[in-house]
């Protein structure tokens, strides 16, 4: 089987021949074809002919599937996916990733399939973020279904980072919530606390104070989150937003170390709170607060300017003396 001196094209030709039947050979010789394709693809990749290497590996994977060698088929399809990513063919990357995952699952290695999806999601996270997010989410779901939620941590972080980079903060918060639920299943308490704090930070960064408050109310009952630094930090941030007090927000961020230990996108977002473009008063009112000191002052001024508004809270003219 020594093809050491043959060129890649010769190896390809030999491999193609092995895949067909002849008079002397009534069944295709998939094992030899597989070896020839593998060697040819390696040489083509070294020569920089990535498109052809990708096709060679795909055929190698096909030969593997025919012989029932799904594990190796999955590995070769992963190689195809990484070459497709080098060639910037994102649709093909996703297609190869799915095929590789299906091959691993047929080989009885669902965890490996999920990790393959996650690995490929990481490769395309900047070039094709939506597809990468879908792959990462599916990887997490597969691992959770298989009872291996503990291994989904990296993929959840990746999914959250993708959404933060895309500035889809509500989606990022939801991803972190799912991450928290996954950590709860895996008894990973430290990660759970960080996940929930990240979700609160993401919602506040998006200006959804009411949603952040509701999120805090929902997760505040969870045992692993109660009485933690992360819960205290979340409470102080939400209270500061409810009071529409920008200084209180900044001092809560400065006083808390928990925010520095979050994943990079969330830690960076937390440092920028409160965002200059946000109307703290409106957020506070949406949260059920009173809009803060400035709002109270404005109401007072409106009351004086409006005259006989009949509002019992406003002082009468006699009282101003």
Partner 1 sequence: MANSADIILRSQGLLKKYEHYLPDEKPMAPVTGKVDGFTTMFSSLQFNLKDLIAKAEEIKAEKNKAAIATANAEIRRGKNYLRGELPKLRKMMEKKMRGLTDEEKEERVSQVDNFEYQIECVPDGVNKAPPKAPKPRGAGNDAGGGTGGGARRHVTINMEDLEKGEGVSMEHSKESRAFRDEFEEAKQRQDEGLDEISKGLSVLKNLGGEMDDEIKRQTPILDVIDEKLDSTTSEMRTANGKLKKVITSMRSTRNFCVDVILIFLILGIAMFFFNSFG
- Contact status, residue 81 vs residue 124, Cβ threshold 8 Å: no
| 69 sits near partner 1 (criterion: CB under 8 A) | no
What are 99's two structure tokens?
């095929």
Q: Which residue has the tokens 């400035």?
A: 294
| 270 sits near partner 1 (criterion: CB under 8 A) | no
Q: By rule CB under 8 A, what string of x and - marks binding of each residue 126-165 to partner 1?
A: ----------------x--xx---xx-x------------
Q: Residue from 122, 174, 267, 314 that binds partner 1 (CB under 8 A)?
A: 174
What are 304's two structure tokens?
């004086």
| 229 sits near partner 1 (criterion: CB under 8 A) | yes
**Distance (Å, whole) CA 176 – CA 160:** 7
Q: Residue from 44, 136, 161, 215 that binds partner 1 (CB under 8 A)?
A: 215
Instruction: Compute the least distance from the CB of residue 136 to partner 1, in Å.
Output: 16
Q: Which is closer to partner 1, CB of 33 or CB of 140? A: 140
| 264 sits near partner 1 (criterion: CB under 8 A) | no
Three-state helix/strand/coil letters over 76-90: HHHHHHHHHHHCCCH
What are 72's two structure tokens?
């190796």
Q: Residue from 21, 51, 187, 251 that binds partner 1 (CB under 8 A)?
A: 187
CA angle in degrees (0–180, nearest 5) for 311-312-314 = 75
Neighbours of 62 (CB within 10 A): 17
What are 13's two structure tokens?
């030709």
**In the range 278-317, which residues lie near partner 1 by CB under 8 A?**
287-289
| 274 sits near partner 1 (criterion: CB under 8 A) | no
Q: Which residue has the tokens 């941590």?
A: 153
- Contact status, residue 234 vs residue 200, Cβ threshold 8 Å: yes
Q: Residue from 170, 246, 267, 295 that binds partner 1 (CB under 8 A)?
A: 170
| 186 sits near partner 1 (criterion: CB under 8 A) | yes
Q: Residue from 216, 248, 284, 291 that binds partner 1 (CB under 8 A)?
A: 216
- Is-cis flag, bond preceding 300, omega within 30? no
**Distance (Å, whole) CA 33 – CA 23:** 18
Q: By rule CB under 8 A, what string of x and - marks binding of each residue 230-259 to partner 1?
A: -xx--x--xx--x--------------xx-
| 33 sits near partner 1 (criterion: CB under 8 A) | no
**Distance (Å, whole) CA 276 – CA 283:** 13
**Distance (Å, whole) CA 59 – CA 39:** 12
* Site residues (vs partner 1, CB under 8 A): 102, 105-106, 108, 110, 113-114, 142, 145-146, 150-151, 153, 170, 173-174, 177-178, 180-181, 183-193, 210-211, 213-223, 226-227, 229, 231-232, 235, 238-239, 242, 257-258, 261, 287-289
């Amino acid at each position: 089987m020594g093809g050491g001196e043959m060129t890649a094209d010769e190896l390809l030709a030999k491999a193609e021949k092995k895949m067909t039947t002849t008079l002397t050979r009534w069944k295709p010789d998939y094992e030899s074809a597989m070896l020839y394709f593998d060697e040819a693809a390696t040489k083509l990749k070294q020569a920089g002919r990535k498109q052809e290497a990708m096709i060679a590996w795909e055929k190698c994977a096909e030969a593997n599937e025919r012989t029932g060698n799904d594990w190796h088929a999955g590995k070769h399809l992963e190689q195809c996916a990484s070459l497709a990513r080098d060639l910037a063919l994102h649709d093909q990357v996703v297609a190869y990733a799915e095929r590789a995952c299906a091959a691993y699952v047929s080989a009885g290695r669902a965890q490996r399939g999920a990790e393959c999806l996650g690995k490929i999601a990481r490769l395309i996270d900047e070039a094709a973020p939506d597809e990468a997010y879908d792959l990462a989410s599916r990887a997490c779901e597969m691992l959770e279904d298989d009872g291996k939620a503990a291994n989904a941590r990296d993929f959840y972080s990746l999914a959250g980072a993708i959404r933060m980079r895309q500035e889809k903060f509500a989606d990022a918060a939801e991803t972190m919530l799912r991450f928290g639920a996954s950590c709860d299943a895996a008894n990973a308490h430290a990660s759970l606390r960080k996940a929930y704090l990240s979700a609160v930070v993401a919602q506040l960064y998006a200006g959804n104070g009411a949603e952040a408050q509701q999120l805090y109310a929902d997760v505040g009952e969870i045992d692993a989150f109660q009485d933690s630094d992360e819960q205290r930090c979340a409470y102080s941030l939400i209270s500061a937003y409810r009071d529409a007090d920008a200084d209180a927000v900044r001092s809560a961020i400065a006083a808390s170390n928990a925010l520095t230990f979050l994943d990079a996108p969330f830690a960076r977002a937390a440092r920028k709170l409160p965002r200059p473009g946000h109307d703290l008063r409106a957020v506070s009112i949406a949260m059920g607060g009173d809009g803060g000191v400035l709002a109270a002052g404005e109401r007072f001024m409106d009351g004086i300017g409006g005259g006989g508004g009949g509002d019992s809270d406003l002082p009468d003219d006699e009282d101003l003396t």
